[in-house]
Amino acid sequence: MAHTKKLLRSLAGETQTVPPVWMMRQAGRYLPEYRATRAKAGDFLSLCYNPELAAEVTLQPIRRYAFDAAILFADILLVPQALGADLWFVTGEGPRLSTITNAEGFAKLKRADDIHDHLAPVYETVKILARELPKDIALIGFAGAPWTVATYMIAGQGTPDQAPAHKLRIENPAVFDALMDRITQATIAYLLMQIEAGAEVVKIFDSWAGSLKGEAFTKYALQPTKAIITALKAKYPHIPVIAFPREAGDGYIGFAKATGADCVALDNSVSADWAAANVQIDGCVQGNLAPRHMVTGGQDLIDETKRIVKAFSGGPHIFNLGHGITPDANPDNVQVMLDAIRG
Q: Which of residues 95-114 bind ligand CP3 (CB under 6 A)?
A: 95
Question: What is the Cα–Cα distance from 121 to 149, expressed in whole angstroms?
Answer: 20
- Among the listed ranges 2-10, 67-75, 225-233, 299-307, the one in contact with ligand CP3 (CB under 6 A) is 67-75
Question: What is the Cα–Cα distance from 318 to 309, expressed in whole angstroms?
Answer: 9
Q: Which residue is nearest to ligand CP3 (CB)?
A: 207
Binding string, residues 240-279; x marks residues near ligand CP3 by CB under 6 A: ----------------------------------------
User: Considering only residues 142, 220, 252, 255, which one is a binding residue for ligand CP3 as defined by CB under 6 A?
Assistant: 142
75 in contact with ligand CP3 (CB under 6 A): yes
H-helix or E-strand spanning residue 30: none
- Catalytic site residue 75? yes
317 in contact with ligand CP3 (CB under 6 A): no
71 backbone dihedrals φ, ψ, rounded to 5° = -110, 130
For the CB of residue 206, give the shortest distance to ligand CP3 in the complex, in Å.
8
71 in contact with ligand CP3 (CB under 6 A): yes
165 in contact with ligand CP3 (CB under 6 A): no
Q: Helix H segments across the chain?
A: 6-11, 32-41, 44-48, 51-65, 78-82, 103-107, 116-132, 146-155, 163-171, 173-197, 214-217, 223-235, 255-259, 272-278, 293-296, 298-311, 331-342
201 in contact with ligand CP3 (CB under 6 A): no
Which one is catalytic: 29, 64, 96, 307?
29
137: CB partners within 8 A, 6+ apart:
5, 62, 67, 68, 69, 70
On the 0-12 / 13-18 / 19+ scale of CB atoms within 10 A, 304 is middle
Contacting positions for ligand CP3 (CB under 6 A): 24-29, 38, 44, 71, 73, 75-77, 94-95, 142, 158, 205, 207, 324
Catalytic positions, please?
Answer: 25, 29, 38, 75, 152
